[in-house]
């Protein structure tokens, strides 16, 4: 687990759940991690004018700094950004009140995390999301895959499942029939057709792994924050189930400031900015804009726009 730019302590039990689905302007004050199983009981101020947003490092933070913060400042708010370097702390920070809204996770991960830790959180809006992609490592083409090829993959359950689905789509492995694609695991591999050697590691380390493996399956936010280009991907997942969401404490979701945050992310100003800055991303479903990501190469290029809807 990489260290945070903020001073946090996270238990080993939480780390094992780390997702997929990304230094702040001002670090949130240090706070003890909430005990597992404890629901949030943070008091709310519906007239507040200071909004603390937590994101993972990279594109979601850039969206805040370059567009969302200026939009909210026009409405009279003071916006503080904290960028985290793991997928566990942002939900704990939100539940504890260290941040007011977080943006970093897809719905399958959110649902699993809050159920496991009994946090009183709710999703509020979708955000443009760089899709999971398979990138070249020591091998530059899908056609050059061979028996025993090494593929680095995210080690958290949610993104590991996505990686398996991608390898199944490529025809490199075969998953069992009727497997839930959101929960696929090693036990669901019916046949390892290409004898792929899966190298599991924390999602943030995947970009650096490319020099040591034949291929790397990298989360979009980490690909972008490490200087990789979406157009470098040899294959991208077509599903829209992993478009990421912003989340609030349930007690805050109907407050004026929370709705102003939602409106900022749904505004035409933000949409125009995102379509230029984040070309190739998967966009919120309600935008009705097809994915413009890399079309892939080789015999298993993905569909440009999936008909699958986002998980609700």
Average pLDDT over residues 86-96: 95
Q: Express as a percent the part of the chain with pLDDT over 90.
A: 65
pLDDT of 251 reads 97
Sketch out the chain's domains with CATH numbers. Answer: 12-130+241-287 (3.40.190.10), 133-236 (3.40.190.10)
The DSSP annotation for the chain comes to: -PPPSS-----HHHHTT-------SSPPPP-PPPPTTPPP-----TT--EEEEEEETTHHHHHIIIIIHHHHHHTT-EEEEEEESSSSHHHHHHHHTS-SEEEEEEHHHHHHHHHHHT--EEEEEE--BPPPEEEESS---GGG--TT-EEEEE-SHHHHHHHHHHHHHHTSSEEPTT--TTS--GGGEEE-TT--EEEEE-GGGHHHHTTTSSEEEE-HHHHHHTT--GGG-SEE---STT-EEEEEEGGGTTSHHHHHHHHHHHSHHHHHHHHHHTTTSBPPGGG----------STTPPPSS--PPPP-
Q: Exposure string (b/e) for 140-166, b if CB count within 10 Å is 16 or more?
A: eebeebeeebbbbbbbbbbbbbbbbbb
pLDDT of 279 reads 83
Question: Whole-structure pTM over 0.85, yes or no?
Answer: no
pLDDT of 290 reads 67
pLDDT of 224 reads 85
pLDDT of 42 reads 52
Average pLDDT over residues 137-144: 97
pLDDT of 46 reads 54
pLDDT bin (cut points 50, 70, 90) of residue 306 is very low
Residues 7-39: tens digit of each pLDDT: 343 333 333 333 434 333 333 333 444 444 444
pLDDT of 296 reads 36
Sheet strands side by side (includes 50-56): 78-84, 50-56, 101-106, 244-249, 121-126
Taking each helix axis as running N to C, give the angle between helix 268-277 and helix 256-266, from 0 to 180 degrees, rounded to the nearest 10: 50
Average pLDDT, the chain: 82
* More confident site: 231 or 13: 231
Asked if residue 118 has pLDDT above 90, the reply is yes
Residues 188-197: tens digit of each pLDDT: 999 999 999 9
Residues 247-300: tens digit of each pLDDT: 999 999 999 999 999 999 999 999 999 999 998 899 999 998 865 444 333 323
Asked if residue 3 has pLDDT above 50, the reply is no
Under 8 Å CB-to-CB from 104, ≥6 apart: which residues?
21, 22, 54, 55, 56, 60, 84, 87, 90, 221, 244
pLDDT of 269 reads 98
CA distance 233 to 235: 5
Asked if residue 225 has pLDDT above 80, the reply is yes
Average pLDDT over residues 230-241: 89
């Amino acid at each position: 687990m990489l260290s945070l730019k903020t001073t946090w302590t996270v238990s080993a039990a939480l780390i094992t759940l780390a997702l997929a689905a990304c230094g702040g302007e001002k670090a949130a004050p240090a706070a003890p991690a909430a005990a597992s199983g404890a629901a949030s009981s943070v008091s709310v101020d519906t007239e507040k004018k200071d909004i603390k947003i937590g994101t993972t490092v990279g594109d979601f933070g850039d969206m805040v700094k370059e567009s969302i913060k200026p939009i909210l400042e026009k409405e009279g708010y003071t916006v503080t950004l904290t960028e985290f370097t793991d997928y566990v702390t942002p939900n704990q920070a939100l539940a504890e009140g260290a941040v007011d809204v977080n943006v970093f996770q897809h719905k399958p991960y959110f649902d699993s995390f809050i159920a496991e830790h009994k946090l009183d959180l709710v999703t509020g809006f979708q955000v443009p999301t760089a899709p999971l992609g398979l990138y070249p490592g020591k091998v530059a083409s899908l056609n050059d895959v061979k028996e025993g090829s090494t593929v680095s993959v995210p080690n958290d359950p949610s993104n590991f499942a996505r990686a398996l689905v991608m390898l199944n789509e490529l025809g490199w492995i075969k998953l069992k029939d009727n497997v839930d694609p959101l929960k696929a695991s090693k036990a669901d591999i019916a046949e390892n057709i290409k004898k792929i050697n899966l190298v599991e590691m924390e999602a943030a380390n995947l970009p650096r792994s490319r020099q040591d493996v034949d291929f790397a399956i990298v989360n979009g936010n980490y690909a972008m924050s490490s200087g990789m280009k979406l157009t470098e991907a040899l294959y991208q997942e077509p599903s829209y189930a992993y478009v990421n969401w912003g989340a609030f404490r349930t007690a805050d979701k109907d407050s004026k400031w929370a709705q102003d945050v939602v409106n900022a992310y749904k505004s035409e100003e933000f949409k125009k900015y995102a379509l230029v800055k984040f070309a190739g991303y998967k966009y919120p479903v309600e935008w009705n804009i097809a994915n413009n990501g890399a079309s892939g190469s080789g015999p298993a290029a993905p569909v440009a726009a999936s008909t699958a809807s986002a998980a609700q």
